Each structure stands twice: as C-alpha cells, then as structure tokens.
Amino acid sequence: GNLARQISDRLPTAAPAFYFIDIQPDQTEAFDKTVASISGPGAVERVPTVRARIVQVNGEPADRRKVRPEVAWVLRGDRSLTYAAKMPPKTRLVAGRWWPEDYQGPPLVSFDAEAARGMDVGVGDTLTINVLGRDITATIANLRTIDWGDLTMNFVLVFAPGTLEAAPHTHLASARVPPADEERLFNKVADTFPNISAVRVRDALQAAARVIGQIGVAVNL
C-alpha cells in the first residue's frame, strides 16, 4: 500500500512530465526555446551527459575491488555522468567542499556518499574512468547524499569543469508541463527534433503502479 501510494500519489506531483535524451550540443538552444514556448520559462532543466566506466579505485582495477553488494552496480558497465561548475539544486554535501565555479586544475569529482561507503572510499581518494578508451583519474572532492526516489536528474559522478567538455557527449533534459499540455509538447519536440527521444514519466509511473498492484494481489493471496 505504501509503495502504491508513493507511485500513484506523491511521485506524479514531484516528478517532471518528460525526460528528453540524445539532445545534441548544437540543438540545446533551440530545444530550450521550443520547450519554453509551451511550458514557459524555467520549466526545463538540462545537463550534459557523458558515458564512461569506472576502471580503477585508488589505482586498483575495479573488477578486483571488493565492494558491498548493494553498490556493485556502480562498477558494472558504463555509467552516465555529468560535469558542473555550480552545485546542482537540492544537493546536500556530507563530506568535502564543492569546487569554485571558475575552477581550473587537476580533475575533481563529486561522488555518491552511499556508493563511497560501499566501496570504502572518501574525500581525497581517486577514481579512474574510461571515456572512449581514454583513462582519466580524478580526486574525490566531496560526497553527496542522493535521493534517487524523487526522480530528479542525479548522477553518481559529477565532474568539475575542465575535464570532460571536449569529450563527445549529448544532453539530458527534464521538462515540467501541465497535463493538458503534455501531448502538445511531445508532438512539438518530436516534429522539430526527430533524433531526440522522449520518456513520458506519467506512462512509466502507471506501468510501475500496475506492477505494484499485481504484487499486492499476490501478497494478499
């Protein structure tokens, strides 16, 4: 019952209406204007994303690192990560400091605090990621508490400026729009940017609610 209420009642009011993926760097300005023309200014949040894989932890190969089972997914395959000068909204640091907005120096990274505990690392330790065959070693500058349940855009790894900007990447965006305008926004983006994929959050939550409902029936039986 608690899970069903979480998915059916709380999340739809807190979650964005859409996630948009595969936005190319030369499309960002036009995309923002297109969404704003329907949803209004400030309704879209967009961040750059890079695909990478953690290959070393403090110089030790990631596949040999002993980690807790609940965080093993962090080292399994590629992860989406981002970079940012400013600390993202709703970010809560539990260790370390955020870097200055004009930071220019050796690679720094902000890491998920729960993953850090499971991997037995902290501020000052290093993580090496592989981006398209190139290894980049960064020092952990701070640890963040991440609430994955609020459906806002969060990343296990957030890099400081100056490291990933030149790497091939796309952008990820979330958009908040009244239910009455969802179809119009979906059609407008699909017609204007055929390469951009839209994930309708309402549909995903409804599918999850159906699964939870079936689990509830099974438990009752």
pLDDT in tens, 78-116: 989 999 999 987 789 999 999 999 999 999 999 999 999
pLDDT given for residue 72 in this prediction = 94
pLDDT given for residue 170 in this prediction = 94
Residue 211 to residues 18, 187, 201, 217, 218: CA-CA distances in angstroms?
21, 28, 15, 10, 11
Q: How far, in Å, CA of 195 to CA of 162, rounded?
A: 28
pLDDT bracket for residue 14 (50, 70, 90) = low
Rg, the chain, Cα only: 19
pLDDT higher for 66 or 14? 66
Q: Residue 206: CB partners within 8 Å, gap ≥ 6?
A: none
pLDDT given for residue 20 in this prediction = 93
Q: Residue 83 is which amino acid? A: Y
Assigned token pair, 79 = 């992860």
DSSP one-letter code for 99: P
Assigned token pair, 138 = 């960064």
What percent helix, strand, coil does the chain show, rounded to 5? 35, 30, 30
pLDDT given for residue 195 in this prediction = 95
Give me the residue label for tokens 């019952």. 1
Return the half-sphere exposure (C-beta side, CA atoms, 13 A cut-off) of residue 117.
Answer: 7
Lowest mean pLDDT of 135-139, 140-144, 196-200, 205-209, name the range. Answer: 205-209
Lowest mean pLDDT of 101-105, 150-154, 173-177, 197-201, name the range. Answer: 150-154
For the chain, the maximum distance between any two Cα atoms, rounded to a whole number of angstroms, is: 60
**Section 3-11 average pLDDT:** 67
pLDDT given for residue 9 in this prediction = 63
Q: How far, in Å, CA of 167 to CA of 12, rounded?
A: 35
pLDDT bracket for residue 12 (50, 70, 90) = low
**Section 146-164 average pLDDT:** 86
